[in-house]
Structure formats: C-alpha cells, structure tokens
Chains A and B, each alone.
Chain A
Amino acid sequence: MEFISDIGAFTLTRLYRMGVMGLFLLKSFLYSLSPPIKIRRVIKQIHFIGFQSTLVIILTGSFSGMVLGFQGYYSLSRFGSEAFLGPMVGLSLIKELGPVISALMVTGRAGSAIAAEIGIMRITEQIDALELMGLNAFRYLIVPNLIAALISLPLLTAIFDVCGIAGGYLIGGKLLGVGAGTYFGEMASYVGMTDVLEGLYKSLSFGIIIAWVSCYKGYYTTIFTGFGAEGVSKATTQAVVMASVVILVWDYFMTSALF
C-alpha cells in the first residue's frame, strides 16, 4: 500500500510542477506583451545570450559544416552524385543542425548562467526584496531573458548556418573538388524559402524553451530544488539537462509536423 501511495504522490507532484511550469510560461508571455518592458535589461541580456555566444557559434558552425562536407561527399560519391553536396549540406544545416546545435550551445553557455543568476537571487532574497518594493520579478528578470533569447537565437542560428555552409564548401568545394559553381548553384536551386522558414520557426521556439526552462529552474530554487548553494547547483544542472531534452523532443515534433 505504501508503495502505491508513493507512486500516487510522485505523480501528483510531477503533475503539479508541470502545471506550475506551464503557468510560468503563460505569465512570462503576458508580461512580455504588456508594457513597460525594461529595455536596458533586454539589451544587456541580448549582449549576454547573443553577442557573447557568437564565437562559440562560429566555431561549432564551421566545424559542423566541415564534417558535413566530408561525410556528405563520401556518401554522395557512392551514388555518383557529389554534385548535390551543396543542397545536402545546406538543407541539413538550415532545417536541422543549425537551429538544434545553436540552441544546445546557448543552453550550455547562457541557460546555465541564467538559472544560476536567478537562483542566487532567490536564495539571497533579492527576488523577495524586488517584490517588496512593489516591483514585479517577472518584468525585471524573466521577460528580458525571454525577449533576448527570442531575438538572439534566430540570429545565432543564421550565423551558424552561414559558417557551416562555408565550412562545407571549404572541404567539399575546395578540398574534394566539387567546385563553387556546382556547390552554390545546386544549393540555390534546391533550398527554398520554406526550408529557411522551418529553421527560423525552430530557432524561435528553441529560444523560448531556453529562456523558459532556465528562468523557471532558477526562480523555483529553494521551493522545488532545495536550499542554499546546493539548490542553485541543482537548479543549474537541471536547467541544462531539461532544456536540452525539451529542445530535442520539441524538434522531433516540429519536424514531423512540418514534414
């Protein structure tokens, strides 16, 4: 009996937290749509989430593209269709790898920091202090992150795609001899606006997921994840793991819906 009631209690807690998490997102959206927006904080967060991630994105983008150049070339050459290397690299990057890898990199870099920052503000009572001034913690802490992630993610993804395509050209086009005309020409004729839009929608939704999960985990430190420094470190780890999982699962659903 004990065992059954434990399962029941566990399920109820999970359901309750999922509800809280859903409401958290809803509240974040409502506050994002209602002024005043704290512009200076938004800019600060764009600097942090977006600008400071560019180097990482350039590196990972270039190398992913270079790997795609090699792998694509060897797979395609088996069917004698190396000419399609450009579209292959372009489509994989724009529709899938660009949005997903950028989002995972930003999760590791910025998502963990956001969760830690908000978690520390929670355990040191700074969030309470904010509320006691009659100010809304969502407006000051959550909304700027949400807006900044929504702006940054598509831009970072675009940078990732461009670097990846260049990397693929470097390997496939230059090193393995596909040639610029074939590489870019075929890419232009096979990659369409719908593919670009698919990547854009994905990166926008990944931006929401990153801000949502990491802010939520930080905000509910002490309440759900435990007290003190240990609570913050748990919140940070959980934010990264959960955001990454949600990104990949959501990516599957979006891909199957947009297929």
Chain B
Amino acid sequence: MIQIQEIHKSFGRQKVIDGLSISIAKGELVAVLGSSGSGKSVLLKHVAGLLKPDRGKILLDGQDIHGLRGKTLASLRNRMGFLFQGGAMFDSMTVFENVAFPLTERTRLPGEEIRVKVMKELEAVGLSGSEEKYPSQLSGGMIKRAAMARALVRDPEIMMIDEPTTGLDPAIRLAVLKLIDESHKRLKFTGIVVTHEIPSALAIVDHVVFLKAGKVYSKTSGADFLSSSDPVIREFLGGDEGPEICPQKQGG
C-alpha cells in the first residue's frame, strides 16, 4: 500500500534522509521512532507529496505520488488524513469550520449531515463545547485534538499522524491513542504515526520503525523493540535524547 523506496533528501548541505525504505501493507499502522531532528516529520511530508525526494520513489497504491498532478493528486490526497505536528489549523476559522472544511469543500453532503459528523468527531477528541472557538483561543493540546478531528473527519484510507500526543496531559494522551486505535480498527486505514509515546503507543501499532542517521535502523514489533538488546536502541529508550521526549514511566 505504502512503499517508500530508497529516498534521499538534503536541505542545503544537511543530509536528512539517506536511502530510507519502508514498505507498509494495506491496513497496517506503523510507528516511526527516532530522536528529535532525525527526519520523522520530513518523512511524513514526503509520503504526502509535500516534499519531493532528491532521489527515490514513494508509491501509494502503486502510484508514484510525486508523478501525480492536478485531479489525480487531489483525489489521492482526498483519501488521506494528515495530522501536522503543529496542528496547522486555519486560524481565520472556528474549530467547527475547520473540522467541517474538508467536508464542505470536497463532498456534497448536506449541511445537517456535516454538522452531525463534525460534532461526533469533536466529541471523540473531547472538544464538545469548543466548536465556536478560534484556534488562537485554544490551548496547544486542544489544537492538537481539533486537528486530529479534522484529519479523521473524512474517514481516510491513509493516515499520516505526526506526534498526536505531544503536549497533552497523561489522561488525554491515552484517550488520543485509544481514538487512533479505534479509528484504525474501524476504518482500517494504512498509516504512519510518529510518536515519542513509549511504551503506550507501541501497543496500538503493527510494527515499529526506528530511524537513525536518515535510514531505517530497525523494523520490529513493539514488544521486540522494547526488549531489544541493541545498544543504540537501548540508548534511545534510556531517554536523554532531547527535550521533546516524554517521560517514559506513565500509562502502561
């Protein structure tokens, strides 16, 4: 379903992705781990076609995303949900309008149906009652959750999720992970979730991909990753990788 084949990407002199390959079967959810600055967000943007690799290809359903244009690209992206690390909410619109936007612009659903669907998504992320607020009136965690609702509202077949839980409090973190798990089971989307949420996030994914120096260092199951004896992985799990890593002892 998603095949990332030997991609390379440099920004100026900095090589961020250096011959990275991942292949994800239909319906699989893969966690991508790696220290801060290891190119996880850059990878997701490549899969969505927002960044173009210097070399290599990315196939979605057998189509090279960087070879698509116009209507075909739009219709492929229409099947994709993307959660940006910073939320990327439209700040001139309310939360309701933000979440409804993909539906009002890309579907012919009647207004009432859209309203019902949007309210359902907002309830699922625990934002009922905030629908008339503007993004600038929300806390960082609320923006993240509203953006999650917007990404899920079109029932995507492909999901790119960039750090869904960073900046949330422990209880809500678990709720968001549960939401991802449930919607994954319900929609059967193929997806990548970038996360620092170890170990709780590893329970909801099929594989764990660990990035190091722009390459895939290891691809394992969640349990194998946690019990790995590889010194590099142990060091990564041992924390001390940067301020963005969340404390490890929580949830369960």
| Residue B84 at the chain A interface, CB threshold 8 Å | yes
Contact B90 A126 (CB under 8 A): yes
Contact B105 A126 (CB under 8 A): no
Contact B50 A126 (CB under 8 A): no
| Residue B115 at the chain A interface, CB threshold 8 Å | no
| Residue B170 at the chain A interface, CB threshold 8 Å | no
| Residue B36 at the chain A interface, CB threshold 8 Å | no
| In the complex, chain B residues 84-116 whose Cβ is within 8 Å of any chain A Cβ | 84, 86, 88-91, 101-102, 105-106
Chain A neighbourhood of B106, CB < 8 A: 133-135
| Residue B75 at the chain A interface, CB threshold 8 Å | yes
Q: In the assembly, what is the distance between CA of A5 and CA of B81, in Å? A: 45
Contact A126 B89 (CB under 8 A): yes
| Residue B74 at the chain A interface, CB threshold 8 Å | yes
What total of A-B pairs shows CB separation below 8 Å? 46
Chain B neighbourhood of A121, CB < 8 A: 90
Contact A133 B86 (CB under 8 A): no
| In the complex, chain B residues 129-165 whose Cβ is within 8 Å of any chain A Cβ | none
Contact B77 A125 (CB under 8 A): no
A109 CB, min distance to chain B CBs, angstroms:
18
| Residue A75 at the chain B interface, CB threshold 8 Å | no
A135 in complex: contacting residue of B76, B80, B89, B105, CB < 8 Å: B105
B46 CB, min distance to chain A CBs, angstroms:
12
Chain A interface category by residue count: 10 to 19
| Residue B211 at the chain A interface, CB threshold 8 Å | no
Contact with A along B32-72 (1 / 0, CB 8 A): 00000000000001001010000000000000000000000
Contact with B along A171-193 (1 / 0, CB 8 A): 00000000000000000000000
Contact A134 B75 (CB under 8 A): yes
| Residue B82 at the chain A interface, CB threshold 8 Å | yes
| Residue B78 at the chain A interface, CB threshold 8 Å | yes
A115 CB, min distance to chain B CBs, angstroms:
16
Number of interface residues of B (CB under 8 A): 21
Q: In the assembly, what is the distance between CA of A134 and CA of B106, in Å? A: 8
Chain A neighbourhood of B89, CB < 8 A: 126, 129
A88 CB, min distance to chain B CBs, angstroms:
46
Chain A neighbourhood of B50, CB < 8 A: 128, 131-132
Chain B neighbourhood of A125, CB < 8 A: 84, 86, 88
Q: In the assembly, what is the distance between CA of A132 and CA of B133, in Å? A: 23
Contact B91 A129 (CB under 8 A): no
Given A125-B84, A128-B50, A128-B84, A133 contacting B90 (CB threshold 8 A): no
A126 in complex: contacting residue of B76, B80, B82, B88, CB < 8 Å: B88
B95 CB, min distance to chain A CBs, angstroms:
14
Contact B77 A129 (CB under 8 A): no
Contact A134 B82 (CB under 8 A): no
Q: In the assembly, what is the distance between CA of A135 and CA of B106, in Å? A: 8
Chain A neighbourhood of B48, CB < 8 A: 132
Contact with B along A128-152 (1 / 0, CB 8 A): 1111111110000000000000000
Contact A126 B78 (CB under 8 A): no
| Residue A255 at the chain B interface, CB threshold 8 Å | no
Contact A133 B101 (CB under 8 A): yes
Chain A neighbourhood of B90, CB < 8 A: 121, 126, 129-130
| Residue A11 at the chain B interface, CB threshold 8 Å | no
Q: In the assembly, what is the distance between CA of A124 and CA of B84, in Å? A: 9
Given A125-B86, A128-B84, A134 contacting B91 (CB threshold 8 A): no
Given A124-B88, A124-B91, A134-B106, A129 contacting B82 (CB threshold 8 A): yes
B134 CB, min distance to chain A CBs, angstroms:
13
Contact B102 A126 (CB under 8 A): no
B107 CB, min distance to chain A CBs, angstroms:
11
| In the complex, chain A residues 86-134 whose Cβ is within 8 Å of any chain B Cβ | 120-121, 124-126, 128-134
A: residues with CB less than 8 A from B are 120-121, 124-126, 128-136
| Additional 14 contacts, C-beta under 8 A, given A125-B84, A133-B77 | A124-B91, A125-B86, A126-B89, A126-B90, A128-B84, A129-B84, A129-B89, A132-B50, A133-B78, A133-B102, A133-B105, A134-B74, A134-B77, A134-B106
Top 4 nearest A-B pairs by Cβ distance?
A134-B74, A125-B88, A129-B88, A134-B78
A-B contact pairs, 9 of them (CB 8 A): A126-B90, A128-B50, A128-B88, A129-B82, A129-B89, A132-B50, A133-B78, A134-B73, A134-B74
